[in-house]
Amino acid sequence: MAQTKQTSKNTKAPKKTIAKKPALKAMSVKQKNNGISGEEQYRMIAERAYDIAEARGFDGNTELDDWLQAEAEIRDMG
Protein backbone atom coordinates (compact mmCIF):
# COMPACT_ATOMS: atom_id res chain seq x y z
CA MET A 1 0.00 0.00 0.00
CA ALA A 2 1.29 3.43 -0.91
CA GLN A 3 1.41 6.06 1.76
CA THR A 4 0.39 9.58 0.95
CA LYS A 5 2.30 12.37 2.56
CA GLN A 6 0.14 15.06 4.10
CA THR A 7 1.47 18.57 4.16
CA SER A 8 0.23 21.08 6.67
CA LYS A 9 -0.37 24.55 5.42
CA ASN A 10 -0.48 27.63 7.57
CA THR A 11 -4.20 28.36 7.50
CA LYS A 12 -4.26 31.32 9.87
CA ALA A 13 -6.49 34.15 8.79
CA PRO A 14 -4.66 37.34 7.87
CA LYS A 15 -4.52 39.94 10.61
CA LYS A 16 -6.95 42.80 10.25
CA THR A 17 -5.48 46.24 10.36
CA ILE A 18 -7.31 48.74 12.48
CA ALA A 19 -7.24 52.34 11.44
CA LYS A 20 -5.88 54.50 14.22
CA LYS A 21 -7.97 57.41 15.36
CA PRO A 22 -6.28 60.73 15.86
CA ALA A 23 -5.12 61.14 19.44
CA LEU A 24 -7.31 63.34 21.56
CA LYS A 25 -5.62 65.88 23.73
CA ALA A 26 -6.15 65.12 27.39
CA MET A 27 -8.09 67.78 29.19
CA SER A 28 -7.27 68.64 32.73
CA VAL A 29 -9.94 68.39 35.39
CA LYS A 30 -10.03 72.17 35.59
CA GLN A 31 -10.75 72.50 31.85
CA LYS A 32 -13.62 70.02 32.06
CA ASN A 33 -15.25 71.78 35.00
CA ASN A 34 -14.99 75.40 33.93
CA GLY A 35 -11.87 76.09 35.97
CA ILE A 36 -12.99 74.23 39.09
CA SER A 37 -10.74 71.41 40.28
CA GLY A 38 -12.27 68.04 41.12
CA GLU A 39 -11.56 68.52 44.81
CA GLU A 40 -13.13 71.97 44.84
CA GLN A 41 -16.18 70.72 42.95
CA TYR A 42 -16.59 67.84 45.43
CA ARG A 43 -16.36 70.27 48.35
CA MET A 44 -18.94 72.59 46.80
CA ILE A 45 -21.36 69.70 46.19
CA ALA A 46 -20.90 68.39 49.74
CA GLU A 47 -21.57 71.82 51.24
CA ARG A 48 -24.64 72.36 49.07
CA ALA A 49 -26.00 68.89 49.86
CA TYR A 50 -25.62 69.65 53.57
CA ASP A 51 -27.47 72.95 53.14
CA ILE A 52 -30.31 71.18 51.33
CA ALA A 53 -30.60 68.57 54.10
CA GLU A 54 -30.45 71.26 56.78
CA ALA A 55 -33.24 73.25 55.11
CA ARG A 56 -35.39 70.09 55.24
CA GLY A 57 -34.60 69.61 58.91
CA PHE A 58 -32.50 66.49 58.23
CA ASP A 59 -35.67 64.38 58.00
CA GLY A 60 -35.45 60.93 56.45
CA ASN A 61 -32.77 59.10 54.52
CA THR A 62 -32.51 61.34 51.49
CA GLU A 63 -28.74 61.81 51.39
CA LEU A 64 -28.50 60.54 47.81
CA ASP A 65 -31.31 62.80 46.62
CA ASP A 66 -29.68 65.76 48.38
CA TRP A 67 -26.32 64.96 46.79
CA LEU A 68 -27.79 64.57 43.29
CA GLN A 69 -29.69 67.84 43.61
CA ALA A 70 -26.56 69.63 44.81
CA GLU A 71 -24.51 68.07 42.01
CA ALA A 72 -27.00 69.30 39.40
CA GLU A 73 -27.03 72.81 40.89
CA ILE A 74 -23.24 73.05 40.93
CA ARG A 75 -22.98 71.64 37.39
CA ASP A 76 -25.54 74.16 36.12
CA MET A 77 -23.59 77.07 37.63
CA GLY A 78 -21.00 76.89 34.84
* 38 or 4, higher pLDDT: 38
Q: What is the pLDDT of residue 29?
A: 42
CA distance 74 to 77: 5
52 closest CA partner among 41, 40, 42, 64: 64
Q: What is the pTM of this model?
A: 0.56
**Residue-wise pLDDT tens digits, 11-66:** 676 666 665 555 444 434 444 556 889 999 999 999 999 999 999 999 889 999 99
Residue 3 has pLDDT above 70, yes or no: no
- Cβ burial of 74 (10 Å; 0-12, 13-18, 19+) is buried
The reported pLDDT for the residue numbered 21 is 52
**17: burial class by Cβ within 10 Å (0-12, 13-18, 19+)?**
exposed
